Amino acid sequence: MSTCPRTTAVPEAAEIKTIMRDERWNARHAKAYNRYRLLSSKGGWARLLARELAGLPAGTEVLEVGSGTGFISEILAGSGFNVWGMDLSPDMLAVARSNLEAAGLAGRARFTVGDAEALDAPDGQARAVVSRWVLWTLPRPRLALQEMVRVLAPGGKLVLIDGQHLPMGRLARIRAALVDMVVAGRLPGWRRPCYTRLTPGLPRLDAPAVVDILREAGLAGVSYRRLTAEESDGAVKSWLMGSGWQSYLVTGVKPQ
Ligand SMILES: C[S@@+](CC[C@H](N)C(=O)[O-])C[C@H]1O[C@@H](n2cnc3c(N)ncnc32)[C@H](O)[C@@H]1O
């Protein structure tokens, strides 16, 4: 049953979250999203995380904000960290649990429902916070960034990956729609009923704006850079998806 109201008004944050949870990231789309792992380069992401979290001892708990179906959680757990994955969608988390179980890593991860804009975590305890591709889905990303800084322990590191949607040519759009049909089993236009209505309510920050907010929130050594296809999802996925997305990496450390 759709929760999409028939209105053209810019949606409020609470409404966006309901639609995100019940429509955009529900059980059907969790399953579809999970199938994209077939196209992702696990090695590329593993190398990137190993580099960014170098020096953090095995067994350290890493908080992953918006952990989705657990692609990154699985890499972190496989690298010896304990993972606390938090996500708004119980359906995404259910897939994450079964992925970690299948990988024999369930003992290294726990997953809880929560809101990135109001983290259910104490001040100053997290040794590392990781988040990939969550910020763009939030109505108030500034709050989420402030929350990530709040929960970091002194000396703790933030590894944030987000990105920007890029305009796509007609051919690229057709190719991406075909890939979505084959990989995820969705027909073109699946976004229309509900999800496209959210767009005006999502600020979708670029990397310099994220850097400014994190610095204001007290993070030190904040820097950003674009990720190449090789160090993120791999050139194949990037081509198949029509290059409609450019990921960036922002990192920083909470001062001691
Ligand atoms: C594009 S997916 C990324 C999932 C995962 N981080 C990954 O890299 O595969 C976006 C995720 O953000 C989650 N999300 C959306 N709004 C959220 C919120 N307010 N708090 C926490 N998670 C949220 C969605 O449920 C979804 O799992």
Average pLDDT, the chain: 92
The torsion region of residue 80 among left (phi > 0), alpha (psi -120 to 50) and beta comes to: left
Q: How far is CA 224 from CA 192, 212, 214, 243, in A?
A: 33, 11, 11, 20
Best mutation site among 88, 129, 147, 160 for ligand 1, i.e. most ligand atoms within 8 A of its Cβ? 88
Separation of alpha carbons 25 and 246, rounded Å: 21
Cβ atoms 222, 211 nearer than 8 A: yes
- Look at the block and give the residue holding tokens 């929130």: 217
Cβ atoms 123, 69 nearer than 8 A: no
Largest CA distance in the chain: 51
Q: What percent of the chain lies above the pLDDT cut of 70?
A: 96
Tokens found for residue 50: 């190993």
pLDDT for res 1: 47
pLDDT for res 120: 97
The pocket around ligand 1, CB under 6 angstroms, is made up of 17, 20, 25, 66-68, 71-72, 87-89, 92, 115-117, 132-134, 137-138
Domain boundaries, the chain: 13-253
pTM of full prediction above 0.75? yes
CATH 3.40.50.150 is right for the domain spanning 13-253: yes
Residue 3, pLDDT above cutoff 60: no
Q: How far is CA 32 from CA 24, 36, 180, 215, 218, in A?
A: 11, 7, 9, 36, 38
Q: How far is the CA of 225 from the centre of ligand 1 (A)?
A: 21
Compare 239 and 170 and report the one with higher pLDDT: 170
Residue 160, pLDDT above cutoff 50: yes
Residue 129 is inside which H or E element, if any?
A: strand 126-132
Q: How far is the CA of 19 from the centre of ligand 1 (A)?
A: 13
pLDDT for res 131: 98
